[in-house]
Structure formats: structure tokens, C-alpha cells
Structure 1
Amino acid sequence: MAPPVGSSASFAATDVSHSHGHYGRALSLLATLFFMWGFITVINGTLLPHLRSVFELSYFQAALIESVWFIAYFFASIPAAMLIERIGYQKSLVTGLLIMAGGAVGMMVAASIPSYGITLAMLFVIASGITLLQVAANPYVAVIGPAETASSRLNLVQAMNSAGTMLAPMFGAWLILGRSKGGTAAAGTVLTQAERLADAHSVILPYGIVAVVLTVLAIVIARFPLPAIGAANRRVKEATAEGSLWSRFWNHPLWQHRNLVLGVPAIFIYLIAEIGVGNLFINFISRPDIGGMTTEQAGRYLTLLWGGMMVGRFIGSAIMQKVDAGIVLAVFSIGAFVVMSITVVSSGPVAMWSLILVGLFHSIMFPTIFTLGIRGLGPLTEEGSGLLIMAIAGGALVAVQGWLADRYGLQTSFILTAVCELYTLFYAVWGSRPTHALPDLEVE
């Protein structure tokens, strides 16, 4: 029979404050992972107009490029958690990087043929590698230092993720769009077959660089003495070993942790808000009654939105050294709700800048919800992490806001974003409080 949840005294927390210098070095190395997957994720945004030109895609076919990214999170998260249980965190990080590198090489092959189908498949492979990194790296960062500053650490390394999202568009514009006929020609220009083939080949160099960097990083991490999570802290297998598949699912001890059960929809709903704002930002602020600018000019302001997320994560990381993460999340949720409400009811520069400011308030939400969601899971951390990362698939439901924009107007559609902020506030105030908490993971 399964032992009562919370009775596993063997999962004793370990004070790792004495090894701050060691896990500080590990944290610096892990920050490069967050930078790389943020960088690669945003490079895909550069691919959308590029591939649409190369393959003469419909809007639906172009949308599939982004959809496969979120689909990978849904399908790869639980297998990733199972792999971590089997081979550990460090080997899983290396495996994730090598999967991404393999996908990058596959993108080079797809560009050489060229093939839209292989491109989609390789993007799924890259996203699956990132999913494994997310499932492994996020909880690892949370547990290698003192538990009370877990949210602070994760916000700090997530700031590096935001730095990657800021730099990637420049890299993509220079090495992909800037080296292609479709990227430099005037709007409406019809490319010849030879020009489309040449444009397809422009993807080979940047993804070759990415593959080399990822492989080198995998080698470095494989050789680095990362602090190990104790073997005794692996999943409590006897907790779900008996009974039918259905009973094991419903009686799984994970469902006794309110902060996880409500944290999964919190991540899911937050992603709807973040992706919705990012996707509709340019269309909104370029409107005559808002910013009155071209889409090219509006695209420059998008950097301020993502830059606000980076700055907010640095600020949030510092604040959470002294203030409880739940309180900080509540304050940022209120701020996000206020600026989104202003966006809905105002016009001109006020509406534009209020939408830009939501990036600052969104900044800490994902890493903070994540650390609050796995708090008190103890040996169930890998599985809980897998569920939280799976919830990133919520970004695929951004189509709901698109439907609202078509039916009721673009500005009105941001009411959905404001409602999402209210759920985050609910989670911060009540839903994130742990129930049946287990002792923290032990660090060797």
C-alpha cells in the first residue's frame, strides 16, 4: 500500500547554503540553457514570413509552424519527466541539448531539399528537446539552493531567457531575412523558383551555427560537476504501484497538492495571455487610433514589450530575496489587470504604452507560478514539473483571442487577457498555498 502522503521522513531537506559558491557556478551555467531555448524559440518567429515565402504557404499552413511548437510541449512533457526519473537531471539536460542539435541539423537538411514537411517535423524535434530542458532545468534551479529563494533564482535565470528572446530577432533578421530575396524584396514581390530555392538555403548557415553551439554546450554540461539530486528523492514508485490504471490515476498523490492542481491551469491560462499579447501587439499599436504607425515601426516597439519582461524578471528576482513569492505574484497580477483594463478602454499613446507595460508585469508570472506549483512536492517533483510544462500548450489556444478579435474587435479581445490576469491573482492569493507538503528534495 502507498504510504500516507507527507509521511516520508526520509526525504529530508538539506541545507545547501554552505555550498552557495558551488551551486552559484552551476546556476550560471544553467542560465545559458535558458538563454539558448529563448533564443531558438524566437528565431522561429523569423521563420514564419520566410517559410511562407519559400513554400508559398497559406495562412493555415504558416500557422502550423507555431502550432507544432506547442503540440510538442503537450506530447513530450510526461515522457520527459519519466526520462529524468530514469537517468537523472544532468544526463537529461545533455540529452535535451543533443535532441535540439539534431533538430537543427534536420532543419539544414530540410532547407537543402527543401521540404515543408521535414521542416515541421524538425521544429517538433527541437521543441521536444526544449521541453526536456524545461522539465529538467526549471525544477533543478528551484531545488539546488535554499527553498525560500527558489522563485528568486528561477526568475533570475528566466531573465536570461528573455535576453535570448531579445537578441534572436536581430540574429534571424541578419542571417535569414537579410540574406534572402523574400526578406529584402518589397511587399507583394513574386519570387521565381530559383529565388525561392536560394532563400531556402539561407536557413542552412544559422541553424548550422545553432547546432554547433548546442553540441558544445552539451559537452560542457556533461563534464561539469553539477550538484546531484539524491537518488532517494526519485519518484515514490510504491505510491501508485497497486490497483487498476484508472484507480492509480485518480488516487495519485499529485492530486493532493492544491498548489500543483491549480498551478497547471495557471500556467495554461497565463500562456494564453502572454502569446495573445505578443501575437496581436503589432496589429494593435499600428492602428490609426492607437499608435498611427507602420507595422515595421510597430515591430520596433515589440522589443520594448520583451525587454520589459527581462527587466521585470531581474527586479522580481531581487524582490523575492526578501518578499514571499506569492505576494509578489499577486502584486504583479494586479498590475497586469490594471494596464490591460486601460488598454481596453483607452486610445492613442495611453493604450499603446499600457499594452507595452504588461510585459513588465507578465515577467515573473511563469517562473513564479512554476516554483509555487512544485513547492512541497518532494519526490513527486519530476512528475509535477512535467504537468506544469505540459500546460505551456495553452499558448495554442491563442486562436480564441483571434476569434474574439474577428467577432468583437481587436481592442475588445484584450478583455480575455485581463480575465487571465484575475486567475493568476486568485492562484497567488489562495491557490498556491501548499497542501500535504512533502520535505524538499535532497541535494548531494
Structure 2
Amino acid sequence: MFEVREKPEMVERALLVRLYFDPREEDESEALLEELGELVSTLGIGVVEKLLVRSREMHKKFLCGTGKAAEIAELAKAHECDVLVFDNQLAPSQQREWERAADMTVLDREEVILDIFARRAQTKEARLQVELARMQYALPRLARMWGHLDREGGSGGGVGGGGASRGMGEKQIEVDRRMANVRIDRARRELEDVRKQRATQRKEREKMETPHAAIVGYTNAGKSTLLNKLSGADVMAKDMLFATLDTTTRKIELPDGQPLLITDTVGFVRNLPHRLVEAFKATLEEAVLADFLIHVLDATSPEIERFHETTLKVLGELGAADKRTITALNKIDLVTEPERLAELRRLYPDALHISAANGLGMEALLLKCSEVMADRVRRKKYRIPQSRADLIGVLHRDAKVLSTEYEDNDILVTAVVPASIAGRLEEFGI
């Protein structure tokens, strides 16, 4: 039966490698290699060394030359590693060649991210998205997964006679490919059903006319911690990459009394595999459909500019680049150097300085949200006849009622009213 392999479960010691080909890419390559270390550690695999390797040109077999490949393989063996992890994306044939040369498991950045996602997915939607992405990744790699059967080619003497003219391994590969394609099609259908359910839920939210904000940003920037602080929710918030894979939406009240739905989204990462962007489109489309975005940046990160660019790039791919956005520099309380604070103010002059962990700047953030949505609501006073109890019901359902008084046969109501129902109540305004 076709199964996506779980090799990271069996490894404990890893050598990390990133190959780069342009001298101008050295600094960025070094930063990406450090990030790969965090990703691998998230899987619980120990990192024994990180190796940044420059190759003058890209080779088809190993990406680098055979001599350099032999050196890397020997270094991994000297460290007694049981896995080689490449920050580069490896073709199936290159992965096979590296496994032959090093005689150990070889992973690339995409497979590492897929395995993290597989462990973190909680809801049916997230699990389906991960399953689809992992199977699409594994399909062209089935040949090496059945390499242990290559020696079991049949002769004519077995049961079934001439039916063994093709090797058992080849037969199993064909069976697995069919099963893989069946499972991919099934996952796509089930995911489409889940997306339809989400669309129905979204329509219900839109009927309520409640404004909606999505928290976006690089992975581990503090998005879930911010949602917890604003809403009192209990979303998992840990100092690890991709702690959140499932969207969580909570309702809060802004200072002007207006309700606001806030959604926590999956974090972005540089070189996010394209198939994951596609697979997680249903999750990330919360960012596309939100009224505005809260872009959270980790003020303590030396890579903050690149993280900012990565998030904007992914939002652009999703069609959300033009959304109204509030930028928030999180963990600002941990930035103590005056020079660094001045640099952050220069880079992001309009950003709010917050700390989701201790609540610093939360009031300013909520006020900013109110400003962004000011065109949607008005604070109004109405004199409504008691005979029009239906309008009182509309106010309680779709607006924020601040006070209610009775005078003769009228009801005096003060409320924060969204523009969608303001017209129906205009004749009763005071």
C-alpha cells in the first residue's frame, strides 16, 4: 500500500548543507541555512554542523561537482550522521544520487517543511491540505522508495510463470502510483467540500456585517500570542516555527463599541514550497477576504526586512497585496539598543510598537483598528416608536447598543451603527 515515508522519525543526527552559486548570495544563503537549522530542530533532529558550500556552477547530478559531493558525504559519515538535509530543492534523481553517495537519508527543505506541517495539522482541512501536498511531493520519488525490491526480479520459475518477466519492484511501483493518484484525487475532492463549507460559514459572517481582520506575518513572529492577548483566546502559542497551521477566528470589541472578527493565519517562510502555497490557499484566503490586515513583525529579528519582504511577496501571490494594513513591531520590549530602535523607526515609520506577551501597545492597536474601520460605523442616537420593535431588534442584532431609555411612547437608543443598516434608521435619528 502506498504510504508517504516518515524517515525523519528515524533520524537523530543531521548535517545541514546549503549550496549557492553566486558570491552575492552568500549572506542570504547563510541566513537561510540558519533558518533551516530552526526547521530541523522543530522536528526534534539534532544538528551536528551547518555547511555553506559555494559551487562555481550548477551540476545535474549533485547540484555541485562530484568531488565536492564526496567531501560532504565523508564529512557526514565522520560526524556519524544519519541524515543529510539540504536547504536547496532537490530533484528526485538528485535525492537518489545523494542517498547512494552518502548511504543515508537525504531530505531537502521542502520535505522538512512538509513533515513539520504533517505533525502540526489539527483540523480536517489542514490534514487534507498536508496530505495532498505530501503525496504530490512523494509521487515522483516512488522509485527510490521501492529500491529495496530491485533485487527481487522474478524468473520464470515462480508461481504464475511468465507473469514475473517484470520485476516485483516495478510492479509495486505501478500499483503505488495508481493508489497515490487515487488518494490525491480523493483528497482534492474532500478539500473542495471543506472549502464549500468554509464559504458557507463566511457568507453567514458577511450577513452579520461584522468587520474582519486577519493577522499575518512571518512564522514565529507572535501572531497567536497577539490573538490570545486581544481576545482572551487560548490558541497554541509557542516559540517554534509553524506553531499555527489551523486558522482561528475570535470576536472582540473595539474601543468605539464596534465588534471585530480577528483571524490568526499560518506563518509565512522564505522559499515556501509552491505546492504548499497552493495547498494552503483555502487557509490563507482568510487574508484575501479580510477587511484589513494586521502585519506582525518580530522586532528582535536581524532578518526583519527580509521577513517583511517575504510576507508581502506571499500576500501578492494570494492577491492580498493591496489590503489596508496595520504594521505592528512585536517584541519591541526586548529591543534595548537605542540605535536599533532608531533604525526600526526609520524602516517602519508608521508601525505600532507592541509586545503581545505583556500587553504593551494593545490599546493603541485597538484604536488603530477603530480608525481603519471608521467609515463602516457611526455613533448615533435614535428616537424609535415602541410600535417599531422590529428596528430595536435590528439594532441589537447588527449594531452595538450603548444605552436604552424610555420617554412617553418612544425608545431612545444610543448605538454604534454599521453603514449597512444606517439608512433604514435615518428617519428616526436625533
The TM-score, its normalising length taken from structure 1, stands at 0.21
The TM-score, its normalising length taken from structure 2, stands at 0.22
Structure with more of its chain in strand, by fraction: 2
Could you say which structure has the greater relative contact order, defined with CA pairs below 8 angstroms and 6 or more residues apart? Answer: 1
Structure with more of its chain in helix, by fraction: 1
